[in-house]
Chains A and B, each alone.
Chain A
């Protein structure tokens, strides 16, 4: 097993600020926008972006939540282990809102497909966009593409992209792992 650093802490920080600015460019004061971090790993990216938007760019009325897609996945009973659920915290209705899904790695697109179904439980959004830190562009199973991407990666299927966060793993870094 070998691993390669794709992004270090400084690069992650620059990308996060760039993504925050791109969001501001399209969503102004976020009055009709909600950010939704996809559980389990998109949560950290969403939390970090929300923090940057609030503290560095003074976005006051930022609505954001975490969405768990476990019960909406299409691989129930297909794997060895059961799918473990995480917490959903969405304390608002997304009816007529502009929703931005946030996830760390976009791979097959199946999680996003599940999220598109899951979000319907909270109303009919006006518009849905996708923000992802890493886009593995040649691995898609479904016609799904990000609207905002941190870094595009050409990884082959047996490679794994690992995103670490300071609040969870002790460092901000992205690794490409060859199994």
Chain B
């Protein structure tokens, strides 16, 4: 197996276990590359990539851009706030105009779930989904699993709890798919209002007591409360949320074992996680960011090799 089974990365749902394995093995080599004195390789010198961000992003955008530049691709950036989208242009028109400038690959973040799938039916370029609404964020899930593999040796058989705003989180859904595919046991934990009603159908266990969840798990992936996606109140106050579902040092120390703490960022310090936990040696948050570049280089490299 030396080739991905897909031509686009639209979601983890479309990947096989072998695809994930191949991405991880390729990322291992890129991780070595980005730790060299000179961090650049010339592989993609004839490829042009458009980063289309119809929604705000710092980490993901920078990480993709860095990955593309480290592979020597030509990069063009686009953000919806400064573009003709404001003048009423449709998504297909916007992208087709960009593709007329001979772009080979599109990295897209969009507020509408399924935007990547829709686009893949209308254009020829290879598409990487960098987050579509509350649906999927495949590269984040890949880098999360890769970080677990790096910290604990493997993903298979590990107990992973995803804590917080599951309802609005694309990171949660992609993580559930990726972790289940690799044979991990997955639990979701949060206030009932932020847990989708039929989430159990995905093969995850549901828990509303944070301490019980943490005692069960090897890894806790803490999610941010996505206030920008909430049109109604899902819990009484941020303070109450932090008391019930925030992880602090005292809570960690009261557990039977030492667990690994992850967070996809951006962190709301003092809400889902306190500063002393985020900066502790149990946290692998900054490793996740470093691995993000290697994972994105691997995904781009493997997809680019399929462009005819």
Contacts and interface: CB of A to CB of B under 8 A. Distances in A.
Are A and B associated in one complex? yes
Nearest to A74: B42
Given A82-B2, A93-B37, A117-B42, A88 B29 contact: yes
Interface stretch (A64-72, A154-162, A171-179): A64-72
B40 to A, nearest CB: 8
A88 B42 CA distance: 16
Given A71-B42, A85-B25, A121-B39, 7 more contacts: A71-B71, A81-B2, A82-B2, A83-B305, A88-B29, A117-B42, A122-B36
A4 interface: no
B176 to A, nearest CB: 29
A8 interface: no
B25 to A, nearest CB: 8
Interface in A77-106: 77, 81-88, 93
Nearest to A39: B29
A130 B83 CA distance: 53
Interface in B268-308: 301-302, 304-307
30 contacts: A70-B29, A71-B29, A71-B41, A71-B43, A71-B71, A71-B301, A72-B41, A76-B43, A76-B304, A77-B46, A77-B307, A82-B2, A82-B3, A82-B302, A84-B2, A85-B25, A87-B28, A87-B32, A88-B29, A88-B33, A117-B42, A120-B38, A121-B33, A121-B36, A121-B37, A121-B38, A121-B39, A121-B40, A122-B36, A122-B38
A57 B308 CA distance: 51
Q: Is the interface of B mostly helix, strand, loop or mixed?
A: loop
A123 B71 CA distance: 19
Contact of A72 (B26, B29, B32, B42): B42
Interface of B: 2-3, 25-26, 28-29, 32-33, 36-44, 46, 71, 301-302, 304-307
A120 B42 CA distance: 12
